[in-house]
């Protein structure tokens, strides 16, 4: 609840008038009709209006009634609202006799907070399934408590003419609801019905319409028969197949060129989810929340789901239906789980336009279930995992964006352009930092165009024109190159791992000096090398490097990320030397000796072998050394599978591999020779991969605990911040947190701001603020 700025009126008994300004997420969530009903229930006169700053209202009446109203305004607010601040000033009574909802007004400062898209509410769902209701079966039913918001807004104030619903003229019945303050659909901007609203049609891959009385029921029949469908949803298209149909899932993978990366599932209801995965009460709460994220759930051995959905993984990514259209598909009763993966070609943004879908997805989908409500801004599904008694967002998008992160310091207008992978952008001003929806990997022009569109849209709906632009130090990132073309702004380069730590500080409202442990794949360092296993001492805009892994060559550069065996060879070369490489290991037996010799020559001659200090790349090398994964079909696959196989018995977890450090120059260097030699010895002795994985994880936990203890002894800092993609690993996150807590540290880690590169933009904004003060 917001901290109200309330000064009780000086009057006793006689009528009083209060002017109230409310900021936060208070538009598009039924806030004005809520105020209208509340004022009438308390016998108050006055008005309420949307402004570009939030909601303004004046109430007049008996002092006790006004006091009660001001209290209920916060304690009884609509479920989707989020009040940030309430300001009250006392005016002279005007003698108003009624309470009205007045026309939206512009305000000098446009700081309104836009609601994310949210799942259809229970009341709308009940009406959609009621044969006597005029909206029976209508796949776009919504009200002020549910439905699309962010994806249809073009500008603010949030009124119908500024959304993609502008072209749909309300029929008399919908118009009565829209204009009735006592109705649940009062000023519900997407309000519509069969008569006046968007409609669904079913097309084949050539774009020909199938004249079906019920295209949704026909689409469900095609899915049940094994067809692949492209389905237009709230924030873009999904590619869907029956999740229990192995051949259909395999065919989807073949057509989309997505060989092994896990596919998301949409499941009929919570009861059906419990039949295929283990669900804790907190996970169930996330699944059923209006945000409806994809939640990673541990598989059941007898799950009635095709093995092709998530091979080599102990988890399913599962979500419940969130759009009325989804419920209509499941109501056909022909399946309980659908694969619902992003409707795009590899590495491209999710498709949102009907014509674009036919052009880009016709070689993948057999049929297209489309509609004529335009999506203004694409938004992927959010993904989360419940870890250490907290939600951990892996991808922050639908249901969360553009809800702000509230900052402790007051910022000038700043824009952070994020990283190359899992890109998001962040636009901040004052105490609000608006982290965008997931943009994706910036590897092509289409995604760069989407980045530009997202920035322009955020600037417009938040009315923020940045004075400062923050970017990553990596000169080859497209986000960096794009930022450097801008003129008329102050440009600030921010080190990647510094930004990781600051993203966590921003989320938790911290400004103190901390020890930051930043573990990820790679990020450009201040020395021009690739970092990724860093212990930093961070003091707002300043940081120093306290520890790192010893630099090793990354033979082939980016290619080594797709071929983990290259990092395994680099570790062996570092440990044994090029003339003593052991050729009795899984990796050296898998890769031809001639190829290994060639890689050794590359490293010796320093050809396309940048130096790297990276925990993520260490995971790759270890996975290959033990024969688990020599080639990766998707980013992070080797590390994920190494986590998946780890033994959980206490003996393995307590028996970590040795990793020690020496103090060189200005900080500590962790040598990986001991680790590699001990691991190779275990492989030769026939120790199973699950035990080796556990010992590796335990060794890392012990290493970073020891490093933090030593740094704390030098600095007196007792707060540790964990951030970076490696902390998506449950063993590392929970194990290191527990170990550090036991050592007396206070530990913070990312929760609703992704710990991977999806949170980098927020850290960049905070760094730019500190660096330009």
Contacts 24+ apart (CB under 8 A), 670-675: 670/533, 670/547, 670/548, 670/549, 670/550, 670/703, 670/707, 671/550, 672/549, 672/550, 672/552, 672/571, 672/574, 672/575, 672/618, 673/574, 673/575, 675/699
The predicted pLDDT at position 345 comes to 85
User: Which two structure tokens, joined as six digits, stand for 111?
Assistant: 């700081």
Cβ partners under 8 Å of residue 211, min gap 6: none
Q: How many Cα neighbours within 13 Å face the side chain of 635?
A: 15
Please give the C-alpha separations between residue 243 and each of 41, 326, 336, in angstroms, as whole numbers. Answer: 50, 15, 8
Question: What is the rounded CA–CA span in Å between residue 623 and residue 210?
Answer: 50
* Separation of alpha carbons 249 and 227, rounded Å: 10
Q: What does the pLDDT read at residue 133?
A: 98
Q: List, in order, residues 6 or more apart from 402 with CB less than 8 Å away.
A: 113, 114, 116, 150, 434, 435, 436, 437, 458, 461, 462
| DSSP states along 179-243 | H-TTSTTTT-TT---TTTS--EEEEETT--B---S-HHHHHHHHHHTT--EEEE-SSSEEEEEET
Token pair 């603010």 in the structure block, residue: 156
Contact yes or no for 239/346 (Cβ under 8 A): no
Q: Residue 609 carries which DSSP code?
A: -
Q: What pLDDT is stored for residue 108 in this prediction?
A: 44
User: Quick one: which of 561, 588, 562 has its CA closest to 576?
Assistant: 588
Distance, CA of 674 to CA of 695 (rounded, Å): 13
User: For residue 496, with 0-12 CB atoms within 10 Å meaning exposed, 13-18 middle and 19 or more buried, which class applies?
Assistant: buried
Quote the pTM value.
0.92
pLDDT on residue 647: 81
Spatial distance between the Cα atoms of 742 and 721, rounded to a whole number of angstroms: 15
* DSSP-assigned states of every residue in 664-726: ETTEEEEE-HHHHHHHHHHHHTT--HHHHHHHHHHHHHHHHHHHHHHHHHHH---EEEEESGG
Contact 301, 248 (CB under 8 A): no
User: Which residues pair with residue 146 across a beta bridge?
Assistant: 143
Q: Are the C-beta atoms of 380 and 437 separated by less than 8 Å?
A: yes
Q: Are 630 and 577 in contact (CB under 8 A)?
A: no
* Bridge pairing between strands 542-549 and 530-539: antiparallel
**pLDDT at res. 170:** 97
195: tokens are 């008569």
Q: Which pLDDT value is given to residue 12? A: 54
Cα 530 to Cα 611: distance, rounded to the nearest angstrom: 6
Asked, as a colleague might, if the bond just before 378 is cis with ω within 30 of 0, I would say no
Residues in the chain with pLDDT values less than 70: 1-13, 105-112, 649-654
């Amino acid at each position: 609840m917001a901290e109200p700025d309330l000064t009780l009126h000086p009057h006793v008994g006689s009528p009083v008038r209060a002017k109230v300004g409310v900021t936060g997420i208070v538009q598009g969530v039924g806030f004005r009709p809520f105020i209208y009903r509340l004022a009438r229930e308390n016998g108050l006169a006055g008005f309420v209006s949307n402004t570009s700053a939030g909601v303004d209202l004046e109430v007049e009446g008996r002092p006790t009634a006004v006091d009660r109203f001001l209290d209920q305004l916060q304690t009884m607010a609509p479920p989707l609202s989020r009040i940030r601040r309430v300001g009250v000033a006392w005016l002279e009574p005007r003698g108003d006799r009624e309470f009205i909802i007045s026309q939206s007004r512009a305000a000098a400062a446009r700081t309104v907070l836009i609601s994310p898209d949210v799942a259809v509410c229970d009341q709308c769902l009940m009406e959609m399934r009621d044969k006597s209701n005029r909206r029976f079966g209508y796949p776009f039913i919504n009200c002020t408590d549910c439905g699309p918001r962010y994806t249809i807004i073009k500008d603010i104030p949030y009124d119908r003419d500024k959304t993609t619903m502008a072209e749909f003229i309300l029929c008399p019945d919908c118009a009565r609801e829209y204009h009735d303050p006592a109705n649940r659909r009062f000023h519900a901007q997407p309000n519509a019905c069969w008569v006046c609203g968007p409609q669904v049609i079913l097309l084949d891959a050539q774009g020909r319409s199938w004249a079906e009385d019920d295209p949704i029921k026909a689409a469900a029949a095609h899915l049940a028969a094994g067809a692949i469908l492209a389905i237009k949803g709230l924030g873009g298209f999904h590619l869907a197949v029956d999740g229990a149909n192995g051949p259909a899932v395999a065919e989807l993978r073949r057509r989309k060129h997505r060989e092994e990366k896990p596919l998301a599932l949409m499941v009929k209801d919570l009861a059906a989810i419990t039949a295929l995965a283990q669900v804790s009460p907190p996970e169930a709460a996330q699944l059923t929340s209006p945000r409806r994220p994809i939640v990673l759930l541990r598989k059941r051995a007898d799950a009635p789901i095709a093995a092709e959905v998530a091979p080599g993984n102990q988890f399913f990514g599962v979500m419940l239906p969130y759009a009325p259209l989804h419920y209509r598909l499941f109501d056909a009763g022909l399946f309980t789980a659908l694969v619902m993966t992003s409707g795009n070609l590899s590495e491209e943004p999710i498709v949102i336009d009907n014509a674009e879908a036919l052009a880009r997805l016709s070689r993948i989908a057999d049929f297209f279930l489309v509609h004529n409500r335009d999506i203004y801004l694409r938004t992927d599904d959010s993904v989360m995992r419940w870890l250490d008694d907290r939600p951990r967002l892996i991808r922050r998008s639908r249901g969360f964006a553009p809800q702000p992160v509230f900052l402790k310091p007051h910022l000038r207008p700043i824009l952070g352009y994020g990283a190359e992978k899992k890109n998001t952008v962040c636009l901040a001003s004052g105490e609000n930092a608006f982290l965008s929806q997931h943009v994706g990997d910036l590897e092509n022009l289409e995604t760069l165009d989407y980045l530009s569109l997202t920035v322009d849209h955020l600037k417009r709906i938040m009315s923020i024109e940045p004075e400062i632009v923050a970017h990553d130090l990596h000169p080859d990132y497209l986000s960096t190159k794009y930022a450097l073309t801008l003129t008329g702004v102050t440009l600030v380069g921010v080190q990647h791992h510094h930004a990781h730590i600051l993203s966590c500080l921003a989320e938790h409202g911290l400004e103190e000096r901390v020890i930051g442990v930043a573990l990820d794949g790679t990020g450009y360092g201040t020395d021009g090398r690739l970092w990724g296993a860093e212990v930093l001492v961070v003091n707002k805009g300043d940081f120093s490097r306290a520890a790192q892994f010893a630099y090793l060559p990354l033979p082939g550069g980016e290619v080594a990320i797709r071929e983990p065996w290259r990092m395994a060879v680099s570790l062996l070369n570092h440990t044994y030397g090029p003339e003593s490489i052991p050729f009795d290991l899984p990796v050296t037996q898998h890769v031809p000796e001639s190829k290994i010799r060639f890689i050794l020559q590359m490293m010796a001659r320093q050809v396309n072998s940048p130096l790297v200090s990276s925990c993520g790349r260490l995971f790759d090398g270890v996975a290959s050394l033990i024969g688990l994964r020599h080639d990766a079909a998707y980013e992070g696959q080797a590390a994920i599978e190494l986590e998946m196989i780890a033994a959980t018995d206490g003996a393995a977890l307590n028996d970590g591999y040795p990793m020690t450090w020496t103090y060189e120059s200005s900080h500590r260097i962790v040598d990986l020779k001991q680790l590699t030699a001990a691991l190779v010895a275990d492989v030769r002795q026939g120790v199973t991969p699950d035990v080796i994985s556990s010992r590796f994880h335990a060794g890392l936990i012990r290493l970073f605990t020891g490093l933090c203890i030593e740094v704390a002894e030098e600095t007196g800092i007792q707060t540790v911040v964990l951030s970076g993609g490696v902390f998506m690993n449950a063993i590392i996150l929970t194990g290191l947190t527990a170990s550090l807590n036991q050592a007396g540290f206070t530990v913070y880690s990312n929760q609703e701001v992704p710990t991977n590169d999806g949170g980098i933009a927020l850290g960049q904004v905070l760094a730019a603020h500190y660096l330009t003060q």
